[in-house]
């Protein structure tokens, strides 16, 4: 009877009741000594992020504010205890907002407790918390997936630059942990913001969007922070998790629209279907031969060749300034892309002529920038003619439709900017965050 009762209980239990245990610890240090650098937003940060985590089913441990070394380590131990009690598959989330730095001589990362004084001295480091100690404690919850977010390395930290780096240094990937840093190695993070810092605001926003696995969620956070700080602050991550974790739940799969490649071929076909130029059709077939419109182009090309064989040699054509002319494939591509202006950019598919003109190798894949509106945000962020867009929002770009689709997805998600990965003729790669609103 007991087994039957348990089976019935599991059968009728709600999905939420059967979900994995979730625990979150939030630590915010801001009331530092003036010699270290007072902060204004860590308490706001942990309140904002904590509220977002609670809405995703996380049980919040008592928030830790303005903590000393022992309080920080004690709180982490309690998180580990709760995770081990939550059973296999539990999820832990540790968010720290406050000062952090790396000691130059040892390359050891530290979280700075609120009572630390005399920055840069031996006593200062002895009073601080080694990042490795925190990670070592968390490793004690072996069966849990751990998320660790260090919103540290603040500009306001008063340290002797000759002895110390305000930013953290890279650490080895930790199995079973996803570690997110608010700024790149050796760089600082901003504490500015009316209600929170920029990283906390972006993280809290993304935690409200359903159906995101942790990789996409933190990529969105990165793009949002890059956009809000004008590229000055670039978050980075270290992923030691062996599976994707959906912090905001899952959604039903979306059925894709008809092939974007076919859609692009259909638009191009409207321009070439009445052409008398065999070279235009040959190039069209080379580009879109594996689509239904490639079959139509092949039939059109065969018809032109047949007519050429049976027709008498035509007289030289008269040059006229009136009437339509058959465009080259390059002109056709530019015409099609010219009607596709996005983000203040005129875009084109890559052709051999464009590759030669802009010194781009055959291995470069993407969509090239033909024109940049000088008044556009893209121009302000350094996008220039000849740049090739190879990724949009971390999605590879092979056609104009890829860009449209990715930008639309970013807009529908309510994000303020889209992250472009650009390549130039010298082989240089860079990221640019361009506003979409």
Are the C-beta atoms of residues 367 and 336 closer than 8 Å to each other? no
Per-residue pLDDT of the chain (437 residues), as tens digits, is: 444 444 444 343 333 334 689 999 999 999 998 888 888 889 999 999 999 999 999 999 999 999 999 999 999 999 999 999 998 889 999 999 998 888 877 888 899 999 988 887 888 889 999 999 999 999 999 999 999 999 986 554 656 554 444 567 677 788 999 999 988 765 656 566 567 888 898 899 899 888 889 999 999 998 888 877 777 788 889 999 999 999 998 754 444 444 565 667 776 776 666 677 888 778 878 877 777 677 677 777 777 787 776 655 555 555 444 444 444 444 454 444 444 678 888 888 888 888 888 888 888 888 888 888 888 888 888 888 889 998 888 788 888 888 888 888 888 877 778 888 888 877 777 878 888 76
Structural domain containing residue 289:
260-310
Q: Is residue 11 part of a domain?
A: no
Residue 53: the pLDDT is 97
Cβ-proximal residues to 185 (8 Å cutoff; 6+ apart), any chain: 167, 168, 169, 170, 236
Residues 196 and 119 in one domain: yes
The last residue of one of the domains, among 270, 291, 310, is 310
Kindly state whether residues 130 and 235 are assigned to the same domain.
yes
Looking at the structure, tell me whether residues 154 and 99 fall in a common domain.
yes
DSSP calls for 410-437: HHHTT-SEEEEEEE-TTS-EEEEEEE--
- The number of domains in the chain is 3
Question: Could you give the maximum distance between any two Cα atoms of the chain, in Å?
Answer: 98
Q: Are residues 119 and 154 in the same domain?
A: yes
Residue 327 domain flag: no
Does residue 300 lie within any of the structural domains?
A: yes
> 417 in a domain, yes or no?
yes
**Residue bearing tokens 């590229």:** 231
Q: Are residues 273 and 369 in the same domain?
A: no
What integer pLDDT is reported at residue 413 of this predicted model? 77
Same-domain status, 72 and 197: yes
For residue 154, the model assigns a pLDDT of 56
Count of Cβ atoms closer than 10 Å to residue 395 Cβ: 13
Structure confidence at residue 314 (pLDDT): 53
For residue 44, the domain's CATH number is 3.40.50.1460
Q: Which runs of E-coded beta strand occur in 51-199?
A: 59-60, 64-65, 91-97, 100-103, 108-111, 129-130, 145-151, 164-165, 177-181
- Report the alpha-carbon angle 381-382-387, nearest 5: 125
The answer to whether residues 289 and 421 belong to one domain is no
Q: Which pTM does this prediction carry?
A: 0.61
Question: Do 68 and 207 belong to one domain?
Answer: yes
Domain identity same for 283 and 389: no
Residue 325 lies inside a defined structural domain of this protein: no
Verify that 41 and 96 share a domain, yes or no.
yes
For residue 30, give the nearest of 66, 83, 61 by alpha carbon.
66
pLDDT attached to residue 54: 96
């Amino acid at each position: 009877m007991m087994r039957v009762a348990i089976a019935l209980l599991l059968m009728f239990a709600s999905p939420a009741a059967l979900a994995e245990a979730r625990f979150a610890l939030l630590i915010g240090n801001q009331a530092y000594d003036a010699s270290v650098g007072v902060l204004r937003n860590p308490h706001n940060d942990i309140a904002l992020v904590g509220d977002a985590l609670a809405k995703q089913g996380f049980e919040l441990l008592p928030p830790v504010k303005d903590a000393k070394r022992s309080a920080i380590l004690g709180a982490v131990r309690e998180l580990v205890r709760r995770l081990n009690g939550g059973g296999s598959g539990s999820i832990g989330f540790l968010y720290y907002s406050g000062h952090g730095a790396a000691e130059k001589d040892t390359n050891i990362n530290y979280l700075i407790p609120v009572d630390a004084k005399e920055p840069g001295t031996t006593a200062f480091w002895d009073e601080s918390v080694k990042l490795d100690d925190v990670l070592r404690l968390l490793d004690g919850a072996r069966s849990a997936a751990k998320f660790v977010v260090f919103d540290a390395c603040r500009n306001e930290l008063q340290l002797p630059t000759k002895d110390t780096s305000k930013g953290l240094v890279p650490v080895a990937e930790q199995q079973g942990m996803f570690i997110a840093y608010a700024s790149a190695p050796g760089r600082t993070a901003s504490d500015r913001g009316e209600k929170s810092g920029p990283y906390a605001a972006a993280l809290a926003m993304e935690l409200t969007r359903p159906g995101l696995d942790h990789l996409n969620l933190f990529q969105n956070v990165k793009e949002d922070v890059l956009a809000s700080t004008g590229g000055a602050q670039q978050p980075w991550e270290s992923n030691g998790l062996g599976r994707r974790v959906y912090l905001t739940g899952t959604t039903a799969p979306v059925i894709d629209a008809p092939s974007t490649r076919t859609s692009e071929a259909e638009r191009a076909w409207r321009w070439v279907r009445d052409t008398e130029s065999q070279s235009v059709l040959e190039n069209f077939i080379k580009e879109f031969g594996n689509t239904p419109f490639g079959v139509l182009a092949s039939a059109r090309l065969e018809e032109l060749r047949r007519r050429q064989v049976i027709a008498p040699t035509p007289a030289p054509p008269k040059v006229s300034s009136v009437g339509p002319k058959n465009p080259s494939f390059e002109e056709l591509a530019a015409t099609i892309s010219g009607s596709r202006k996005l983000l203040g950019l005129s875009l084109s598919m890559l052709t051999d002529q464009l590759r030669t003109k802009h010194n781009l190798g055959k291995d470069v894949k993407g969509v090239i920038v033909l024109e940049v509106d000088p008044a556009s945000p893209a121009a302000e962020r350094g996008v220039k003619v000849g740049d090739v867009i190879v990724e949009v929002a971390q999605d590879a770009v092979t056609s104009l439709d890829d860009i449209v689709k990715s930008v639309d997805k970013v807009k529908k998600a309510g994000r303020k900017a889209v992250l472009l990965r650009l390549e130039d003729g010298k082989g240089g790669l860079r990221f640019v965050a361009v506003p979409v609103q």
